[in-house]
Amino acid sequence: MSILSKVKEAVICLRAGRVTLPYPAQPRPTPPNFRGRPIFDASRCIGCAGCANNCPAREILVVDLCQEVRVLQYLGRRCTYCGRCADVCPEKAITMSRDFETATDHVADLGQRLELFMSTCQRCGRCFTPPSALDQLKLKGYRFDDVAHERWVFHSTAYGRDEPVVEDVEIELD
């Protein structure tokens, strides 16, 4: 009987009442283990670049300015908040915050830049063992991501041997 269905449907709506939340007038707290914007703690970071090597969106760039100074730049513009960086970080220097209201009129506001003083040999890779063979931390050597153009310099077999990785920068492939 269709009329009965309509009555039932009306009752469902009336019982439900008003369900809309008064957001954003009242902020809605996120659950404790929410994956929001990652926060980088410069005091803990040892500059291993594991986060950069495992970021699926390639949002974390690492560049060695000289033997002692390594810059780690998080762009934040197409970060998917997957939290892989926080997973692989051996020093727990990255926390996924509960902050998701990141709208801004200037995208650089979302970035974070860490200038790290590297005191020991970067080539020995002494820091720790990677968590698994799949989470490659690639500790050795220098990094020259293209910070000026905000590009990750890929260590990729997609390029032919003789092709330049980035047209205007010359970099040796792995």
Partner 1 sequence: MIAREKLNLFKQKFGPAINRADLTGENRVFVFVEPSALKSVCEHIFRDLDARYVIGIAVDDRPYSGTFLAAHDFAFDRDNILCSVLAHLPADDPRVDSISGVVPAANWAEREMHDLVGLEVVGHPYPKRLVVPDGWPQGVYPLRKDFAWNQAPEGFDEHQEFKFDEPPPGCTVVPFGPFHPTLDEPAHFRLYVEGEFVRGCEYRGFMVHRGIEKLAESVLGYNDIPVMAERICGICGCVHSVTYVQAVESAAGLRPPPRAEFLRTIMLELERLHSHLLWVGLAGHVLGFDTLFMQCFRIREPVMWIAEKITGNRKTYGLCVVGGVRRDLSSELEVELGQVLDRLETQWRTVLGAVLKDRNIRKRTAGVGVADASLVKETGLVGPLARAAGVAIDCRRDHPYAAYGQLDFDVITAGEGDVWSRLVVRAKEVLESIKIIRQCLAKLEDGPIGLKIEDELPVGRLGLSSVEAPRGEAHHFVITGENNRPRRWRVRAPTYQNLQGVPTMIKDQRLADMTISLASIDPCFSCTDRLETIELATGRARSWSHEELIRLARSRQG
Q: Does 161 bind partner 1 (CB under 8 A)?
A: no
Asked if residue 79 lies in contact with residue 38, where contact means CB atoms within 8 angstroms, the answer is yes
The letter for the amino acid at 12 is: I
Rounded to 10 degrees, the C-alpha dihedral 5/9/11/15 comes to 150
Q: Does 140 bind partner 1 (CB under 8 A)?
A: no
Asked if residue 68 lies in contact with residue 120, where contact means CB atoms within 8 angstroms, the answer is no
Which residue carries 């968590």 as its tokens?
A: 131
Q: Does 26 bind partner 1 (CB under 8 A)?
A: no
- Return the structure tokens found at 152: 């990750």
Segment contacting partner 1 (CB under 8 A): 42-50, 54-62, 112-120, 139-147? 54-62
Q: What is the C-alpha R_g of the chain?
A: 23
Smallest separation, CB 83 to partner 1 (Å): 6
Q: What distance lies between CA 169 and its chain's CA centroid? A: 25
Q: Does 136 bind partner 1 (CB under 8 A)?
A: yes
Q: Does 170 bind partner 1 (CB under 8 A)?
A: no
> Which residues bind to partner 1, rule: CB under 8 A?
1-2, 4-6, 8-9, 12-13, 16, 19, 30-31, 33-35, 54-56, 58, 78, 80-84, 87, 96, 105-108, 132-136, 149-150, 154, 156-160, 163
